[in-house]
A and B are shown apart, each in its own frame.
Chain A
Amino acid sequence: MYNLIGAGLIVIGAGIGLGQIGGKAMEGIARQPEATGKIQTAMIIIAALLEGLAFGALFLGK
């Protein structure tokens, strides 16, 4: 039960983080469409780091 609550909290946190990353990346792309490639790469790397953190937490709790 507590595991599930923890997992929910992790997903909320990770969701907020991913939303921030994605949203800011979109803003950046809209502002500077010529930098799309660089922004996407950076976005994916940061999202991957966040994802690693979230998965790590999920599996520590499992």
Chain B
Amino acid sequence: MKIAQKTIKFLTIALIAVFTANGFASGTDKKHDDQNDGGRVNTKSEVDAYILHHIKDSHDFSFWSYTNDAGERKHVGFSLPIIIWTSEGLVTFMSSEFHHNDDGHVIVEKKGLKFAKIHSKIFELEKGAATVSFDKDHHATNAHKVLDFSITKSVVGILLIGFLLLFWFSRLAKQYKTKQVPTGFARVLEPLVLYVRDEIARPNIGDKHYRKFTGYLLTVFFFIWVLNLVGLTPLGFNVTGQLAVTACLAIFTLVIYTVSGNKDYWMHMLWMPGVPVLIRPVLAIIELAGALIIKPFSLLVRLFANISAGHIVVMSLIAIMFTLKESLGVVGATGLSLVLSFFITLIEVLVAFLQAYIFTMLSALFIGMAVAEPEHH
């Protein structure tokens, strides 16, 4: 057991070292006058750009970047594969070919098509265009977005946390085969599982139906919670702050409560008993909009906005270090930033749990509404 753990640790370190070396090797960027590589944070506009860049998904995994003595930008991290569906079919290449450029200046040519990366989005240039041209709102005029199935940073995060969750909980499951009470880390996980089951799933869905949905709720709860927490580490994941991911989760909940809704649920939604017949169609429209649009929309926007806002606040407070350097001095600005960002990070740890709890709780509540047994008056 100990040996296995040591091996895993060694492998992890070796992996990071290899990827870091790769980052060193490929990360040198000759165009050091390029302002938009998301690495420099000295002025207010650079801070803004950096933060906006951070909360977006990214096609490469960079830990930090710096300018070396020779004036070259160095990026430490590793590039990730880009998989896109273009007019010529599937195209794949490594993100290092963009050289960390994010404003469409570096053009990559594959299969006779030209690609540029603008604000973390891959654009395909129109036929015959050599460079991207922008209108006054900074929208590309001669390029369009492609369907981007890349292994982005968020996908890496999902995969990583997915495997971590699988590893943890399958080990907990295995422990029950030999003993009644789990030991080690699994002992920490067990009360959490019980908490979700007894405080979220059972009271909101009801004793009769909760078993079917507990698996989904548990997965979602731990997925969101762990990813929220990982987002607070310097690894810089912002998976639960990606609209696509939260939308995906919200749509799962929507599908589950729509599919499992019983007759009573649909009757109350479409043909509300006990109100005048003329009002019923109006109510049906309102109820349908509530169930199909407002509920999932509030779910997805809440999670996305809370996590994004948390990241923006933490990073803004860290940026006090640079932006107030002149008025407060290096020590003052650093100290202020440290204290503020420390406490806001503590709050964010709470928010990380709270958002996972609320998402799971509301999902359970909506499912519970859909499967509730009719009350016989």
**Which residues from 6 to 60 on chain A have a C-beta closer than 8 Å to any C-beta of chain B?**
41, 44-45, 48-49, 51-53, 55-56, 58-59
Chain B at the A interface: mostly helix, strand, loop or mixed?
helix
| A contact residues, total (Cβ < 8 Å) | 12
Q: Contacts of A52 on B, CB cut-off 8 Å?
A: 297-299, 301-302
Of all chain B residues, the one with the shortest Cβ separation from A38 is B203
> Which residue of A has the minimal Cβ distance to B355?
A48
Say yes or no for B344: interface residue by CB 8 A criterion.
no
Contact mask for chain B residues 247-261; partner A; CB cutoff 8 A; 1 contact, 0 none: 000000000000000
Contact call A44/B301, Cβ cutoff below 8 A: no
Asked if B196 is at the interface (CB within 8 A of a chain A CB), the reply is no
Contact check, B302 vs A55: say whether CB atoms are below 8 A apart.
yes
**Chain A nearest CB: distance from B107 CB in Å?**
31
Q: In the complex, which of the residues B302, B361, B365 contacts A51, with contact meaning CB atoms closer than 8 Å?
A: B302
Assembly CA distance A45 to B357 (angstroms): 10
Contact B298 A56 (CB under 8 A): yes
CB distance from B4 to the nearest CB of A (A): 41
Within the assembled complex, what's the spacing in Å between the Cα atoms of A55 and B305? 7
- Nearest chain A CB to B194's CB is how many angstroms away? 15
Considering the complex, which residues of chain B in the window 290-316 have a beta carbon less than 8 Å from any beta carbon of chain A?
Answer: 297-299, 301-302, 305-306
Chain B interface size, under 10 / 10 to 19 / 20 to 34 / 35 or more: 10 to 19
Across the interface, name the chain A residue whose C-beta is closest to B358. A48
By beta carbon, the residue of chain A nearest B302 is: A52
Chain B residues near A53 (CB, 8 Å)?
298
B354 interface contact, C-beta 8 A: yes
B305 near A44: Cβ-Cβ < 8 Å: no
Residues of B within 8 A of A45 (CB): 358, 361-362, 365
From residue A10, how far is it (CB to closest CB) to chain B in Å? 12
Whether A49 contacts B357 by the Cβ 8 Å rule is: no
Report the minimal beta-carbon distance from A53 to chain B, rounded to whole angstroms.
Answer: 7
Q: Is the CB of B362 within 8 A of A48?
A: yes
- In whole angstroms, how far apart are the Cα atoms of A51 and B361 in the complex? 15
Within the complex, what minimum Cβ distance (angstroms) separates B375 from chain A? 20
Given contacts A52-B302, A55-B305, A58-B305, whether A44 and B297 have CB atoms under 8 Å apart is: no
Task: Name which residue of chain A comes closest to B200, CB basis.
Answer: A41
Q: Are B298 and A49 interface neighbours, CB within 8 A? A: yes
Interfacial chain A residues near B299, Cβ < 8 Å: 52
Contacts of A55 in B (CB 8 A): 298, 301-302, 305-306
Most buried by B among A41, A48, A51, A56: A48
Return chain A residues, CB-CB under 8 Å to B302.
48, 51-52, 55
- CB within 8 A of B354: which of A44, A49, A56? A44
Give Cα distance in the complex from A55 to B241, angstroms: 13
Q: With CB as the reference atom, state the residue of chain A lying closest to B301.
A: A55
Tell me, in angstroms, the Cα distance from A22 to B17 when the chains sit together.
49
Q: Which residues of chain A are within 8 angstroms of B362 by Cβ–Cβ distance? A: 45, 48
Contact indicator A44/B298 (Cβ below 8 Å): no
Please list 26 pairs of residues, one from A and one from B, whose beta carbons are closer than 8 Å in the complex, sorted by A's number.
A41-B361, A44-B354, A44-B357, A44-B358, A44-B361, A45-B358, A45-B361, A45-B362, A45-B365, A48-B358, A48-B361, A48-B362, A49-B298, A51-B302, A51-B306, A52-B301, A53-B298, A55-B298, A55-B301, A55-B302, A55-B305, A56-B297, A56-B298, A56-B301, A59-B301, A59-B305
- Chain B interface (Cβ within 8 Å of chain A)? 297-299, 301-302, 305-306, 354, 357-358, 361-362, 365
Residues on A facing B (Cβ under 8 Å): 41, 44-45, 48-49, 51-53, 55-56, 58-59
In the complex, the 6 A-B pairs of residues with the closest C-beta atoms, listed nearest first: A52-B298, A55-B305, A48-B358, A52-B302, A55-B301, A56-B301
